[in-house]
A and B are shown apart, each in its own frame.
Chain A
Amino acid sequence: MVEYYLAGGGLRLWQVIIYSSMWVVIGCLIAAVFRRMLGPTKLKRIFADDTRWGLVTGWLIGMLLPVCSLGVIPIVRELHRAGVKRGTIVAFGLTAPLFNPMSVLYGLTLSDPIAILSFSLCALVIVSLLGWCWGKMVTTGEESVPEDNMPTVGIQRTISVLYTASKELVGPSGVYIAIGILASMALAILLPKGYLQSQVEVDNAMAPVTVALVATPIYSTPLLAMSQIGGMFQHGNSIGAAFSLLILGAGTNIGLFCWFGATYGVRRVLLFYLMLAATTVGLAYVIDKPLYPKGVEPAGHSHAFDVYTHPFFKSETEVGETAKNEAQNFWRTNEFGGTYMLMMLIVLGVVFTVSERFIDYESWFVKEDTRDKKMDMIIPGWLLGVTVVVGLIAASVVGCYLYYPAPDDLLGDLSAVNTEAVACARTEQWEAADKWIRYADDLSRRLEVGYFLRNGFASEYQTTKAKLYREKLDRLKEAVDNRWTEEAKDWGMDVYNAYLRLNDSFREGGTRDTESTDGDSTP
């Protein structure tokens, strides 16, 4: 039993750290840039703090910045420190983890665009309403930092950004982030494997409430949440439950609420949480039926919650070894450098913390540089601001094109992955087959987005081929999960043929690169 909890908890902890590391690093760096390069006055101006547009600005900037519900913690702390209005902080803090350009694009291809746009608008309603209420409810708690504490332009300012980001990570923000991660892990080991699989059906009137009750400690990145919501649309699950999962699951976590509680008081935060949950559930019921996709039949289950529950059944044996293998696989497929950057920032933070007993960094940051600076160019603040905004948009666009490659390029990868999935299933290499099937499923979704990005549309013919391909993959996975040898062979060939049709539909004027495989030929 101890092994069951240790292996399950360890695996989920590992996964959340890998998922969140890049977003946490970005969040710390953004917070440091806000403090050291912009300062409170400019920050308040950017967030339209003296106008009536503060809430909408917080929502818009939140949509733009690539952070998750953990990465947003250092940023909201910095906004609070700079004296940005409380309502704006709430609007930003709740929106940033929900959407970014990549996740919205992904979502547009997974379900009816109207549904995702409606989700975005409902999120705007929630953050505006709660931001406004929060601004009225809380009249204390703002801090303000004098503007004249800005570091000297040059190497001092650059190092001050690293100093602030790393110290934030090993300081209070790190504590709240750790609380968020631990809460997510704790929930995962308490919920049995497969929990809620059959309770988020469209005909279950309580589905949005049930999801709302368990979603808050969940940690999810915007992209992961969007893919799960897309899956719920495709499986014909409750749309209201999907909305609850987005707002309360991806948008919040316990760490964020702990910061709210420590800053504004526990009673206010409990009231705020009740308002958030009530508004979310209320809107979930409003959109539940109208947004239900036409022509989709309820699948009778959902896998949206699988990654938030215990990874193993109690009766499974050798879960320690399985967890170790799964952790290694997860690292190989999901680690893109974020964990290394996180570790480097932590080490840097520890070094700064220890060494500042002997070195007064704050004084050095603001010390006048007397060196000859004829060659230095002082960049005005407005140019920095414009560069940051344009850079973020450019980075988002480039990121989208990198994450969703051109269909011809991606089909090359998918061909190899599909072959591996089918071959492994047919030769009873079950663990490998499971891994390749998941990867093939993900690539087929990226194929649709990549095509949509470059052509402005994806035809119903193409989306149907992609959907059919994923259905065949799902069925093959069932055979793999149950170790059904004969079915794995037959259904593997179905997957292979469905892939060929998918390939044809997405390659412009393309032809099949192999002959029809109605027989028992091996791909």
Chain B
Amino acid sequence: MFKRAFQHVVFGVLAIAIVVLPAAGCNTDSSQQDNGQESSSLPKQSFHKPDGFAAAVDRLKEIAAAVQSDDELPPPIQFKIREVIHGSGAGAHSHFYLADEEQRDDHGHTHEESSEKLHDLEVDVFTELKDIVKWLPEIAGDGDMEESAWNQVNEISTSFGELLENAVDGKSEDQLRDAINSEEQSINEFIDRLSSLS
């Protein structure tokens, strides 16, 4: 019995060693590893998210008017983003802040080490339009809107989003403008309905 139990223990220790030892190199000093964030692209940022439903609808109106006019399109919004990278290697994770925000003091209570990188981010009007439409339910939900009104916003966001998705998929800037203008009536109807809810 003891011999069999001993065999079980030995087998278990070997199994743990086989599976776990390959991971043993993971917990090394960060100075010995490459920073895994160096080559990674920025995840989706939401610095252009409007502050409140009324602001979102106003911005949609501005964008629609600009796209539908004969004037030049407004230039992309530019953000300078500060990426704060905590840890290193596979254990690294990043936080993103606007660079012109007041620098927050990281007291380092929970983070081993940190480094910073600056990024330039541009958001063109078409991206902004699609993003705001997608964010509408969340923006409306972050206020005191009644459920029935919110349901309408949600439904408009879905329909409006699908329309934009079909219109703008893989096109150049001029083509995008033409495609969106071809849906001018529907887009204006959506925006009017949203205005009545704000």
Chain A residues proximal to chain B, CB less than 8 Å: 172, 175-176, 178-179, 182-183, 186-187, 189-199, 201, 213-214, 216-217, 254-255, 257-258, 261-262, 266, 295, 297-301, 309-310, 313-316, 430, 459-461, 464-465, 467-468, 478, 481-484, 487, 498, 501, 505, 516
Contacts and interface: CB of A to CB of B under 8 A. Distances in A.
Contact of B26 (A190, A197, A255, A501): A190
Given A254-B12, A498-B142, A197 B92 contact: yes
A450 B43 CA distance: 34
A176 B108 CA distance: 40
A310 B27 contact: yes
- Size category, B interface: 35 or more
A179 B15 contact: yes
A175, A213, A430 pick with most chain B CB within 10 angstroms = A175
Contacts of B13: 179
Contacts of A460: 137, 151, 154
Interface string B145-163: 0010011001000000000
Given A261-B11, A487-B104, A501 B92 contact: no
Given A197-B93, A216-B19, A258-B8, A483 B86 contact: no
B52 interface: no
A95 B25 CA distance: 32
Given A254-B16, A460-B154, A482-B104, A468 B147 contact: no
B9 A175 contact: yes
A190 B12 contact: no
A175, A194, A266, A295 pick with most chain B CB within 10 angstroms = A194
Lowest 6 CB-CB distances: which A-B pairs, in order?
A: A300-B43, A313-B112, A179-B12, A192-B91, A194-B91, A464-B141
A332 B11 CA distance: 36
Contacts of A459: 147
A300 B26 contact: no
Given A172-B4, A316-B110, 10 more contacts: A190-B24, A191-B91, A213-B22, A261-B11, A262-B8, A297-B43, A297-B44, A299-B43, A300-B44, A309-B91
B49 to A, nearest CB: 11
A482 B26 contact: no
A483 B86 CA distance: 15
Contacts of A262: 7-8, 11
A516 B143 CA distance: 11
9 contacts: A192-B87, A197-B92, A199-B36, A216-B19, A298-B43, A300-B44, A461-B151, A478-B95, A516-B144
A186 B20 contact: yes
Contacts of B19: 183, 187, 216-217, 254
Nearest to B131: A297
B113 A315 contact: yes
A482 B93 contact: no
Given A298-B44, A464-B141, A198 B92 contact: yes
B40 A481 contact: no
Contacts of A467: 138
A217 B142 contact: no
